[in-house]
Structure 1
Amino acid sequence: MATGPIVALARTTPTRRTDSPTDHQTVRTPVCIVFKLDWSRQILIGYRQSLIRMNTRTLVLAAVVLVAGGLAATGAVAGGAVDGSPGEQSAVDPAAGQQAAVAQSSCEFPVTRTDVTGTEVTIDERPERIVALQPSDAQILWEIDAQDRVVGMPVTQYTSYLDGRSGKADVSGEGTVERVVGTNPDLVLAANVSDPETVASLREAGLTVYHFAGVESLDGIARNVETVGRLIGSCESAREEADEFRLTVERARAAQANASDGPSVLYTFFGFTTGTGTHIHDAIEAAGGENVAAEAGLEGYKELSDELVIDRNPEWIVYPDDYTVAGGTPYNDTTAFQRNQTIALDYSYINQPGPRVAIPVTQLAKTWYPEGLAEANRTVNQSDVPTPNRATAEETAASGPGFGVTVGAIAVLAVAAAALLVGRRL
């Protein structure tokens, strides 16, 4: 396991931003210090939904988010809105531009699309040299057979499953801007979690950068695939990949058709869980599970309390395979533990909002509805998949980590310790 830089929250400053088109919130934008831990994760501070409406003490404990899929630690977060979008976004419909892109059947150039920052991004010619700032960006490019055009990407444990990555320039960690500029790219793809200051610096260097909105659903993943295809001139392969992804998800949904109630499911990772408004929640629901965190009213990624585990008593506990659910109170008393009903999912596939999320969705559906899934695989075809409204803006910049999230308990302790060292206040 590699040792990487860890970003620790030291203090915050208020920033006004749009939580949704009708909900304006003032959040605390983290100003960070960097320290080293002998740990394989690279930590990004500042998941928005975990910070809003929290007091300072809770903020310290909840502010650490490891973005296993969307993050390769492309520099320390130094400013801007904590969800990966820069400051004020109230005048911008962050997904409208990118989703309207896919409604266009032509795949010609030039093409102009508005990204999450409100910037009109114009691409004059088919990009031949592409940089993926985050692992989820790289995953999409690989899945639509555009890996040969990738000249830079995070070469970390989070992209180890991508064949052919070893020859690419590693743009993770410190010096991201310089390394990206050095690849002389035609286009830089920046997942929502990407540091807005990094995006701004790349643009100041004369590079074309598309900064994505966050992902809150499985169909948001499919639409991001189509958007990438349009931006790089690979519309057909992107459409095929998105359609295959939607078909796989639809088969998982169909597998539960004859079930009255789905199993109650707790998704847990390093002391956190996920409620509504995340692709992981949508994955659980698509596979036929009932997310107990969502039923408890949680939204986004939140700290997991013992009380929730006890009150909801999940029948199944699901977690990424880079994490081990500890025994003891309260887990030993749950139905899940008593029946040995736990499921470990590939951490890159479930955390990164890319097409490979379909793999854990299928794994869950096969576990809970094996006969139903077998039948769905035989009978559900592409014509059965609901036609997506590709011109509809569903995702928002206020979405969660969006590009892959795992939170580490060690990181939580580290942030708490850092806050104490700097005066017990953020």
Structure 2
Amino acid sequence: MLLVVVSTGGVAASAPAQTVAPTERQGLQNDTASLGPGQSAALQSENCSFPVEVTDATGEPVTIEEEPDRVVALGASVAQTMWAIDAEETVVGLPTGYTTAYLNGSQNRTNVLGANQNAIVENIVDLEPDVVLAANIIDEDDIETLRDNGFTVVHFEGASSISDVTEKTRLTGQLVGACEGAATVADAMNATVEEVRASATDGENPTVYYAMGGGWTAGPDTFIGDVIATAGGDNVAAAADIRTYGEISEEVIAAENPDWIVVPEGRELPKSPAINATTAVRNDQIVRVNANFISQPGPRVTEPLQELSAAFNPDGASETQTVTETERDAVTTESDGGATDAPTTEAPTTDSGSGFGPGFGPVAALLALVASGLLARRR
């Protein structure tokens, strides 16, 4: 379940659905277990009155007394969301590096996350934030340490679907006083999902293998798995009884013979007789997606969603683009940051959550955790 939110301020009518094309930050349109209908409606109907009380992933009630002026985005997915909802000016700290380099101005913030997904507590203390928004991968010990230092910390749940990402976007807006921007982005995300679903062609779904790296893949009970399913693909991970993240054998890949293979940019396609013999390789049906956008449970997850939909359903692909090239330039650095430079030590986790902190998401962080012997640590 996502965070339960109680606003102790006033309640306003819900924002109307957006039907216009997104602006440059809304163009970022694009995870945590699904909210029930009542909870979702509550999040959409409440305004940005403060104080706001939430119960977060640690089970602790957290109260944000007033609209924060200084926010630490402890996780790249959190930073992506803050930029998308037009609240980046309040961000004083985030994970710097390739996972956030595509966000304009991110290089000017203080780094708050170490190589092993540990919070750099001393940096956060120096920043004196009003609130710390922590991705789900952040260790609860770090959360406790920050709270012991007197900081207000909201620890997000993990995400297992696109709708989870959407609701987390709305929630983030409520926590930082950016409800209007969050509602616009969330509505645009929902519209994109509906367009993709409508574009699905009749007939049998193509089989899809998501090659995270290191033999790992994402199962259907993850937000990445939901991206594949929503785009019209049949995830071969299910045949290996992989529901969240896990290693998939070459025998299963050979037996399932995927029609398509999805690979994050910057990562080599696995080379083996089993992979080379697949329909995907023989027919050159390989889709490369932005490593950050597919692995970070943030609004831009709808970009790889549209790319996969266009590949799987070429005759029915949606004509709507999530973000134009001009808009992309407006919200990225010239080099698009390190968005395509996924490290060779990426690794998946065993948890179905998706709030992978440095912005990795289950992909980049899992292999990083494996490499550092921390796979047992849950998000």
1:142 is aligned to 2:83:
yes
Aligned counterpart in structure 2 of residue 119 of structure 1, from 55, 60, 64? 60
8 Å Cα contact 1:94/1:213 also seen in 2: no
Aligned counterpart in structure 1 of residue 97 of structure 2, from 134, 156, 160? 156
Query: 1:376: Cα distance to partner?
Result: 7.5
Task: Give the alignment's TM-score, normalised by structure 1.
Answer: 0.67
1:109 is aligned to 2:62:
no
| Amino acid in the other structure paired with 1:267 | Y
Aligned counterpart in structure 1 of residue 352 of structure 2, from 399, 409, 413? 399
Distance 1:240 1:411, change over 3 A: closer
Structure 2 stretches lacking a partner, 5+ long: 2-31, 322-350
Q: Provide the aligned C-alpha RMSD in A.
A: 2.7
8 Å Cα contact 2:221/2:352 also seen in 1: yes
Residues of 2 paired with 1:409 and 1:134: CA distance?
17
Aligned counterpart in structure 1 of residue 309 of structure 2, from 365, 370, 377? 365
Task: Give the alignment's TM-score, normalised by structure 2.
Answer: 0.75
Q: Cα deviation per residue 1:153-184 (whole Å; 9 max; x = unaligned)?
A: 11111101001112211112177111111111
Residues of 2 paired with 1:415 and 1:235: CA distance?
40
| Amino acid in the other structure paired with 2:78 | D
Aligned counterpart in structure 1 of residue 281 of structure 2, from 301, 318, 337? 337
Q: 3-state DSSP class of the match of 1:373?
A: coil
Residues of 1 paired with 2:315 and 2:34: CA distance?
41
Residues of 2 paired with 1:276 and 1:118: CA distance?
26
- State the percentage of identical aligned residues: 40
| Amino acid in the other structure paired with 1:160 | A
Task: Return the structure number with greater strand share.
Answer: 1
Residues of 1 paired with 2:224 and 2:261: CA distance?
13
1:314 is aligned to 2:267:
no
Aligned counterpart in structure 2 of residue 242 of structure 1, from 171, 183, 186? 186
1:199 is aligned to 2:139:
no
Residues of 2 paired with 1:166 and 1:216: CA distance?
29
Residues of 2 paired with 1:102 and 1:170: CA distance?
30
Equivalences, count:
307
8 Å Cα contact 1:275/1:300 also seen in 2: yes
Residues of 2 paired with 1:284 and 1:133: CA distance?
27
Distance 1:327 1:401, change over 3 A: same
Residues of 1 paired with 2:195 and 2:311: CA distance?
14
What residue is the counterpart of 1:211 in the other structure? 155
Residues of 2 paired with 1:182 and 1:410: CA distance?
27
Residues of 2 paired with 1:134 and 1:110: CA distance?
24
Q: 3-state DSSP class of the match of 2:141?
A: helix
Moved over 6 A (4+): 93-98, 408-411
1:169 is aligned to 2:89:
no
8 Å Cα contact 1:113/1:120 also seen in 2: yes
Distance 1:268 1:195, change over 3 A: same
Query: 1:137: Cα distance to partner?
Result: 0.5
What residue is the counterpart of 1:325 in the other structure? 269
8 Å Cα contact 1:94/1:118 also seen in 2: no
